[in-house]
Amino acid sequence: MANKTIDMNLSIVDAFKKSFPDLDIKTPTWAVAGVTAEFRKLQVGEIVLFPIGSYNYQTIRSTPGTSMVPEVLNEGRQWKTKLDKDNKSVAVLRIA
């Protein structure tokens, strides 16, 4: 199933652009797979939104330091998360 970009407020893009002005940030998509799978398929500049009602907040926040350790150490991948109140979700941006 492909990620969906419909029915969302794009204020999270502006919030990330303030923190990362040199990064080419793409339009967010809604998560449809597991947390680790969504993290793995993100490219630099992509944002995925995890709806609070469908995903565990603690799992999303801890994924880079647990499930994604090989990618962090071997490839230098990095992500930033923000609570997106407008979309009632946790937004994850891949920054490296």
Q: Where are the domains of the chain?
A: 11-94
The average confidence (pLDDT) of the chain is 92
Across the range 52-81, mean pLDDT stands at 96
CB 93 within 8 Å of CB 79: yes
Q: Give the CA radius of gyration of the chain.
A: 12
Distance from C-alpha of 26 to C-alpha of 73, rounded to nearest angstrom: 25
Higher pLDDT, 30 or 7: 30
Output the pTM of the full model.
0.89
Distance from C-alpha of 9 to C-alpha of 88, rounded to nearest angstrom: 10
pLDDT at 27: 92
pLDDT at 48: 97
Per residue in 27-45, pLDDT (tens digit) is: 999 999 999 999 999 999 9
| CA angle 30–45–50, rounded 5-degree value | 25
